């Protein structure tokens, strides 16, 4: 019996070590998920962005500034940064840098064109 226990301890060590490592990984993931709400919020989820977005939508009367389609025409409206937020972060919260475009016009524009419609 003593021989069997030694053999078992010797041969199950890698399995036990792998199990322990996986437990640490699971614990780490749970800890990170628990901390996630305290991380900085996404730009588009902030209250300031939502207020500014609403102002831009009111300014455009709910119509695409490129093609003129509105919600009644089945267009999905998006508020777009004229000068991209990725290249001009200082203008991200400027109402003058925002325009309302339908989804089709906005996808065609991408972040390469800085034309104000």
Average pLDDT on 77-93 reads: 88
Phi first, then psi: what are they for 3, rounded to 5°? -65, -40
Q: Which CA distances in Å does 20 have to 11, 12, 14, 28?
A: 16, 12, 10, 12
Of 8 and 14, the structure prediction assigns the larger pLDDT to 14
SS3 63: strand
3-state helix, strand, coil in the chain (%, to 5): 60, 10, 30
In DSSP terms, which residues pair with 80 in a beta bridge? 99
Q: What are the phi and psi torsion angles at 99 (to 5°)?
A: -145, 150
pLDDT, tens digit (0-9, with 9 covering 90-100), for 17-56: 777 788 888 887 777 766 655 434 688 889 999 999 999 9
Looking at every residue in the chain, the average pLDDT score rounds to 81
Which residue has 């780490």 as its token pair? 28
Both structure tokens of 11: 């041969």
Question: Has residue 1 got a pLDDT over 60?
Answer: yes
100-116 confidence digits (pLDDT tens) = 999 988 888 766 666 66
């Amino acid at each position: 019996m003593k021989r069997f226990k030694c053999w078992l301890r010797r041969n199950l060590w890698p399995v036990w070590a792998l199990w322990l490592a996986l437990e640490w990984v699971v614990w780490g993931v749970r800890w990170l998920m628990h901390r996630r709400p305290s991380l900085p919020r996404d730009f588009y989820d902030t209250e300031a962005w939502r207020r500014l977005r609403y102002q831009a939508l009111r300014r455009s009367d709910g119509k695409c500034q490129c093609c003129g389609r509105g919600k009644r025409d089945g267009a999905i409206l998006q508020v777009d940064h004229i000068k991209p937020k990725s290249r001009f972060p200082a203008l991200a919260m400027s109402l003058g840098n925002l325009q309302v475009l339908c989804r089709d016009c906005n996808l065609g524009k991408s972040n390469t064109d800085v034309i104000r419609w």
